[in-house]
Amino acid sequence: MAADHAIAADGLRKRFGDPGGGGKLALDGFGLTVPAGTVHGLLGPNGAGKTTAVRALTTLLRYDEGRAEICGLDVARRPDEVRGLIGLTGQYAAVDEQLSGRQNLVMFGTFHGLGRRGARRRADELLERFGLTEAAGRNAGQYSGGMRRRLDLAASMVRVPRVLFLDEPTTGLDPRSRNQVWDTVRSLVAGGTTVLLTTQYLEEADQLADRISVIDAGRIAAEGTADELKARLGGARIEVVVRDFADLAGVTQLLARVAGPGARTESDPDTRRASVPVSDHVAALTGVARALHEAGITVEDIGTRRPTLDEAFLHLTGHTTDAGKERAA
């Protein structure tokens, strides 16, 4: 495995339950590599194997087959040394809500052997870094969701980790709190920390990750940058929203003519929207606008857009994430 990779895994398999009775195969040949100083997104729905992979890589779960390394250290053979290099923030805040923010961080610092004085100094540094100084004396139970997640992130940074695992860190947060956590992650990476981020939120992966691995049924289904994954669906699409539903069929045919032979148009009666993929979106958009004018069709909107990460994920796995289902509901 390459020395410049902060995380490297190859052929990881993990089966839960009685192996003789079949059991559940949570990891099925899982593998990835994460260069140092980057954010790598692990994207997939519930049950895909994201959390199992994180637990295996962080020494919390012994895998059945394969090999994994953190900063060149074998996870299975040298777990104590690996734990000294990593931090982990799970899906739910692990802080004590009966203690203040400062007391929580001092407690974690003491656990990590910093001593009372060192723990207090490190707590104050982290409170300032994560924008929690004014709330330091309040019980964590009085914090907002976003503040609790930032406190949880601060706790994972008491001993500065070379590699930080974030397992769905923004689940259940409102957009403002989610943005605060994103800003925190960016600042950690700027300071040299490598981050493996598991998420159901495609926008989160799009915003933060240098590269993304799509996991499905315990194995990597695809990997690349967000743009590379989107490119698997082709180039841009021209979309037209008609004002009169009666014009939808005609506009769909018009798009097919402008796009050329073999173009696959789509139409949605509910939104009165028709679309078609194109290679040269500027020329195609000009042609569609001209054809609409000549046909005397009035539209509410016309424009081009690139494929979304949601569409790429659906194309790669055959289903959407639970977060996507919530947005569609």
Among the listed residues 150, 188, 165, the one whose alpha carbon sits nearest the alpha carbon of residue 41? 165
Cα separation, 129 vs 133, in Å, equals 9
Distances (CA, A) of 244 to 2, 252, 291, 300, 303: 59, 13, 17, 9, 18
Q: What is the percentage of the chain residues whose pLDDT exceeds 90?
A: 56
Query: What integer pLDDT is reported at residue 168 of this predicted model?
Result: 86
* Rounded average pLDDT over 252-265: 87
Q: Which two tokens stand for residue 244?
A: 């009169």
Q: Where do the domains of the chain lie?
A: 5-231, 237-306
Query: What integer pLDDT is reported at residue 112 of this predicted model?
Result: 86
Quick one: fold of 5-231?
A: Rossmann fold (3.40.50)
The structure's pTM equals 0.78
Local confidence band at 188 (pLDDT 50, 70, 90 cut-offs)? confident
138-148 residue pLDDT tens: 999 999 888 88
User: Which ranges constitute the DSSP H helices of the chain?
Assistant: 50-57, 79-83, 101-111, 115-129, 145-156, 175-190, 202-208, 226-231, 248-259, 281-295, 309-317, 322-328
**219-224: strand order across its sheet:** 86-89, 163-167, 194-199, 39-43, 211-216, 219-224
- Length reported for the chain: 329
Say yes or no to pLDDT of 7 above 90: yes
33-89 residue pLDDT tens: 999 999 999 988 888 899 999 999 999 999 999 999 999 999 999 999 999 999 998
**73-74: strand order across its sheet:** 24-35, 5-16, 65-70, 73-74
Query: What integer pLDDT is reported at residue 328 of this predicted model?
Result: 44
Distances (CA, A) of 89 to 32, 54, 165, 172: 20, 10, 6, 15
Average pLDDT score, the chain: 88
Looking at the domain that runs over 237-306, which CATH code has it been given?
A: 3.30.70.100
Cα separation, 304 vs 300, in Å, equals 14
